[in-house]
Amino acid sequence: MDDRYGTDVLARGWRDAGRVKPAQVAASVDLVVEVAGTDFVGAVTRVEGMNVELEDRFRKRRLFPLGGGFLVDGKPVVLTAPAAAAKGRTRTASGSFAVDDQRARTARASRIFVEGKHDAELVEKVWGADLRAEGVVVEFLEGVDLLEQTLDAEPPTAERRYGVLVDHLVAGSKESRIADKIARGRHGAHVRIVGHPFVDVWQCVTPRALGIAAWPEVPRSIEWKVGVCRALGWPAEEQADLARAWQHILSRVTTFRDLEPALLGRVEELIDFVTVP
């Protein structure tokens, strides 16, 4: 008859007989982890040395040593550092192939205008490497209302084309009326105005990237960003709160896959327009 206790009680490993060892799981970005024995649950944001950083739903970040003491889907695991990716031809955040040791090109006269700082930061994060390689500068307007004034101050030409990215460019909107007027005017031949349909560039980041089901619906009586922050349980009392909310949103964008197609195609169109020979 089999003796499940064995015959040698002093043999190595006798205490672990029958125990199931926790699985080893790579601490990949966005993996949701529970810290055993606590109520802290967060997504992996990075691995630094022998520590893993987790961010909970309140955007609080904490560092923990890699190893045991974690749960994934309720099961004990040992977190390990992700394996280094095999070196090969890398891509930029926009999906283009990166060119090793490529120096930034001297800035072109042509450029791209966006409505505000957040738009500029998002474009830089995803297309920055491509724009530097092409020598394209991105400037922000502080509102599409100032576009015609900007064009009058330094008119576009065949050698100095301007691409313009506009928020909420939908039929009947103020933005579409301004765009139509400029397209029909004296600057129209050398300006390309495109846009996305969202109220704000925040919505160009996919809900999936933020770990939410959808962007909240905000009543017209409430300032949109304030309403979004309140609906998601984020502070929204001061401008600094909105700035921190945007930095959190921006931090969740790592590649073009984190953006809505309605923005992707429009930015690529502008880059093509301002870089034609």
Kind of pairing between the strands at 162-166 and 191-195: parallel
Residue 116's nearest CA partner among 87, 94, 145, 82 is: 145
User: Which pLDDT score, from 0 to 100, does residue 143 have?
Assistant: 82
Digitized pLDDT (tens) for each residue of the chain, 277 residues in all = 455 544 554 555 545 555 678 899 999 988 889 999 888 888 898 888 888 989 887 778 888 999 999 999 888 999 999 887 555 556 676 566 555 555 556 778 899 999 889 999 999 999 988 898 888 999 988 788 899 999 999 999 999 999 999 998 999 888 999 999 999 999 999 999 999 999 999 999 999 999 999 999 999 999 999 999 999 999 999 999 999 999 999 999 988 899 999 999 999 999 999 998 7
Q: What is the DSSP letter of 153?
A: H
CB 73 within 8 A of CB 67: no
Measured CA to CA, the distance from residue 92 to residue 96 in angstroms comes to 5
Computed from CA positions of residues 117, 120, 122, 128, in that sequence, does the dihedral angle turn out positive or negative?
Answer: negative
Distance CA 270, CA 77 (A): 47
> Is 138 within 8 Å of 112 (Cβ atoms)?
yes
Q: Which residue has the tokens 């995803």?
A: 126
Largest alpha-carbon pair distance within the chain?
A: 97
pLDDT at 17: 55
Among 166, 176, 50, 150, CA closest to 114: 166
Contact predicate 259/253, CB 8 Å: yes
Q: Which strands make up the sheet holding 67-72, listed edge to edge?
A: 23-26, 75-80, 67-72, 32-35, 41-48, 51-55, 61-65
Distance CA 38, CA 201 (A): 37
Q: Which amino acid is at 220?
A: R
